[in-house]
A and B are shown apart, each in its own frame.
Chain A
Amino acid sequence: EVQLVESGGGLVKPGGSLRLSCVVSGFTFSTYSMNWVRQAPGKGLEWVSSISHSNSYIYYADSVKGRFTISRDNAKNSLYLQMNSLRAEDTAVYYCVRDHSFAFDVWGQGTMVTVSS
């Protein structure tokens, strides 16, 4: 069974940092591009970042560029999102998502990040 399991969310103060992790199983992680997508409470979906299967490309949304860093460890079947200088507007559920032929075909259940003093 294909699974994506996120962890690392929580409550953090403005200006603080968090590192999200996503452990995958049930498919060959090293052959897929991966993404982070977030959804603020009661709002729509926002793409955050993408990383290719071999790290040959990495992209960020303007709203997080310079503050967030996406990375992966293919040996550990894991995807990461290092989030620094967090702001209240970063409060959201963060989803780890698999990319397959121009579609996000598998989603994790999400991890909640709350930025508040």
Chain B
Amino acid sequence: AIQLTQSPSSLSASVGDRVTITCRASQGISTTLAWYQQKPGKPPKLLIYDASSLESGVPSRFSGSGSGTDFTLTISSLQPEDFATYYCQQFNSFPITFGPGTKVDI
């Protein structure tokens, strides 16, 4: 199974900060990677698919990049509603796997 690691596991930031979260795959997955945001008590929300494509309705301050084994989610200017946990996910092969998550708090 392809393993995903995320760093950092948590971070503290302020409104307006630029935030970068990294996801690394244990083997190359091309661009078959998605990013999700989850708030407490809610289901995850798709932010980015195909490594860098912004899901419809998601603010443009979110962006994704990378291919192969190294990927990045960037929030250009953190907003109060962005405090949440972020997960990466690979679709290159079954079993589909998620990263362990990165919690972004104040």
CB of B43 within 8 A of CB of A103, answer no
A43–chain B nearest beta-carbon distance, Å: 9
Q: Measured between C-beta atoms, what is the minimum distance from A42 to chain B in Å? A: 10
User: Pick the contact of B95 from A45, A62, A95, A103 — CB < 8 Å?
Assistant: A62
Please report whether the interface of chain B is mostly helix, strand, loop or mixed according to DSSP.
Answer: loop
A95 contacts B43, CB within 8 Å? yes
Residue on A nearest B91 in the bound complex, by CB: A102
A78 at the A/B interface (Cβ < 8 Å)? no
B interface, size bucket: 20 to 34
Contacts of A46 in B (CB 8 A): 98
CA of A95 to CA of B49, assembled, Å? 19
User: Which B residues from 16 to 63 make CB contacts under 8 A with A?
Assistant: 32, 34, 36, 38, 43-46, 49-50, 55
Residues facing A in B47-106 (CB within 8 A) are: 49-50, 55, 87, 89, 91, 94-101
> In the complex, what residue of chain B is closest to A59 when comparing beta carbons?
B94
Which residues on the B side are within 8 Å of A101 (C-beta)?
49-50
- Chain A residues within 8 Å of B87, by CB: 44-45
Q: Tally A residues with Cβ within 8 Å of B.
A: 19
CB contacts (< 8 Å) of B38 on chain A: these are 45
Do residues B98 and A47 form an inter-chain contact, with CB atoms below 8 A? Answer: yes
Can you sample 26 A-B contacts with CB below 8 Å? A44-B87, A44-B99, A44-B101, A45-B38, A45-B44, A45-B101, A46-B98, A47-B89, A47-B97, A47-B98, A95-B44, A101-B49, A101-B50, A102-B32, A102-B34, A102-B49, A102-B91, A103-B49, A103-B91, A104-B36, A104-B44, A104-B89, A105-B55, A107-B45, A108-B43, A110-B43
| Residues in B lying within 8 Å of A, measured CB to CB | 1, 32, 34, 36, 38, 43-46, 49-50, 55, 87, 89, 91, 94-101
**5 smallest beta-carbon distances between A and B, as pairs:** A103-B49, A107-B43, A102-B91, A47-B96, A45-B98
A107-B43, A110-B43 known, 5 other contacts, Cβ within 8 Å: A47-B98, A50-B94, A62-B1, A104-B44, A105-B46
